[in-house]
Amino acid sequence: MSVRVLIVDDSPFIREVLRQVLTRDPDIEIVGEASDGKRAEKLVMELRPDVVTMDLIMPLVGGMDAIRSIMTRCPTPIVVVSDAQSDVRRLAMHAIEAGAIDTFPKPRAGFDEATADRLVALVRSAAQVRVQQRWERSPPPRPSQKTLERRIAKASFIGIIASTGGPQTLQRLLCKLPAQGTAPIAIVQHTSIGFTRALAAWLSSSTRVPVTIARDRQRVTAGRIVLAPDDAHLEIDASGEARLHHGPRINSHRPSGTLLLRSLAHTFGPSAVGVILTGMGDDGAEGAHEIEERGGLVMIENPRTAILEGMPRAAIQRTRSPVVGSAGRIGDLLRNAFTPRGA
């Protein structure tokens, strides 16, 4: 499938680098370039690209304003390609809030083959995002509300997996949670190296419960939310401690959502809860299957409402009776696990 890309950056050198990197893939076509946000808005309307790569710091109209305008006038998948400095990382999180799909840091030492491949894969993934998505199957029937509330209230640990489009979806879900609770949460969010800390800070600013980067051998206590760090697998052991390691990538992912959910399945059995949100591919699907096999509860974002349907669809296909709903609906249900018993 051909992917038509508009490159937006005020540096002619960077635009040429991005052109060379992206056209390594014969299916990617650069249909236009812009040096500021105002020109980008005009070209999006004229060219209707499949994906826009967007710098943030530009003259005239910056990337943030351009993203807001494009998402209002002509919604288009946008990948922020910008510096990984701390201030810009924070700005990138606001860009995601405004509607960008994902972020990618400009490599300071230039693009090596692996970095180039990651950007190409991200752009191809973003191109699959559609405003209206079709899904061949209807969501499986849900258990009764009372049954769900009982099961979630007994949750010992919750694992959440997300990829492309995950930051804004996580924000929508986590903002539902109250300040105090009884169930710890661990999150695997696939993101570019260098942006995880900014993501944690941004999510913390949007929820009543602080989101922190997991530390090795940290005990994850009730009502805490931890995020897998850059380039490290996160598992939870029988004592409720986070275990980080740099084992082999699983289906190209490190951290791996399946590995996290598998550890919850084996450690907590029927009281484990696994949540699969937006993303490309099938990370987490096998882990969700294992949670279900051991009697735990699986919740999956409805592919019809997900920014990218691949991961939710794969998880539904791998499980028998998951709870399927929008991110907001899942957040409402998880609130039960985050409400102190007796409150």
Question: Catalytic positions, please?
Answer: 163, 190, 283
Q: Provide the pairing of β-strand 233-236 with 242-245.
A: antiparallel
**Residue 8 CB neighbours (<10 A):** 30
Q: How many helices (H) and strands (E) does the chain have?
A: 12, 14
* CA torsion angle 131 137 143 148 (round to 10): -30
Q: Which of 187, 172, 152 is nearest to 337 (CA)?
A: 152
Cα–Cα distance between 155 and 157 in angstroms, integer?
A: 6
Q: Are 297 and 324 in contact (CB under 8 A)?
A: no
H helix runs in the chain, sequence order: 12-22, 37-47, 63-73, 86-98, 113-126, 145-153, 166-174, 196-206, 257-268, 285-293, 310-318, 327-334
DSSP β-bridge partners for residue 157: 272
Q: Are 37 and 84 in contact (CB under 8 A)?
A: no
Cα–Cα distance between 130 and 93 in angstroms, integer?
A: 21
Maximum Cα–Cα distance across the chain: 61
Cα–Cα distance between 268 and 99 in angstroms, integer?
A: 36
Indicate the residue type of 102: D
